[in-house]
Amino acid sequence: MWPERYPLTMRLGSDDLNAQGVQFEHAILAVSLMKERGLDLADLSLGLNTADLATAPFAQLGFMLERARRLRSEAGIPVATSWNVGVPALADQVIREEVIDLVMLGRPALANPHWPVWAARELAHADPFSLVPEDWGCWLRNFRAHPACIGWPLAKTGEGPA
C-alpha cells in the first residue's frame, strides 16, 4: 500500500511518434484513469517503444512541452517533463506560465551537477548560493574556475581567478 503522505508519480512513455506505436491520445486516457486511482503527478516522456520515429525532434528546444500542456489541461493533473528544457530562461518561463509543474533534467544535470545554482545566476537571483546547503554554498561561492568551465559564466560576469 502506497503511503498517503508521499506523492505517487509516474514516468510515462507517451508518444512513439510512429503510427504502429503508442499514440498521445492513449496516454491522456491512461493518465486520466491513473489519476482516478491516486496518481499525483505524471512525468511525460516520449515512447521510444518502436524501432523508428516518424519525426525525430531531438534537436528542438522543449519539444514535449506542448504535449505536457495538453495533458495537464485535459487530464487535470500536475505534469513534469524533460527533453531540452534545461535552458534556465525556458525552465523558468514554463513554470511561471503554468505550462508544467516541475522541470526534470537529464543531460544538463550530468553536464553540471550544480545546474540549479548556475540557473539562478543566469536568472539574476540575488543570492544563488543560498539555494544549496550552506556547506556546498560556501565552497561554490569561493570557487574561481577557468573561464571555460562549463556552466560558470565567469567571462560574462567579469569574475575570474584572483
Rounded to the nearest 5 degrees, what angle is found at the Cα of 30, between the Cα atoms of 29 and 35?
100
Residue written as grid cell 495533458: 71
Contacts (CB under 6 A) with ligand FMN, residues 100-129: 105-108
Contact 12, 46 (CB under 8 A): no
**Residue with nearest beta carbon to ligand FMN:** 106
Residue with Cβ nearer ligand FMN (14 or 45): 45
Q: Using CB under 6 A, which of 16, 75, 84, 100 touches ligand FMN?
A: 84
Contact between 45 and ligand FMN per CB under 6 A: yes
Residue with Cβ nearer ligand FMN (57 or 137): 57
* Count of positions on this chain that bind ligand FMN (CB under 6 A): 10
Taking the alpha carbons of 69, 70, 71, 76 in that order, is the dihedral positive or negative? Answer: positive
Close Cβ partners of 71 (under 8 Å, ≥ 6 residues apart): 14, 27, 28, 31, 42, 44, 77, 79
CB of 60 to ligand FMN, least distance (A): 11
Residue 105: count of CB within 10 angstroms of its CB: 16
Q: Using CB under 6 A, which of 47, 83, 100, 114 touches ligand FMN?
A: 83
**Contact residues for ligand FMN, defined by CB under 6 A:** 11, 45, 82-84, 86, 105-108
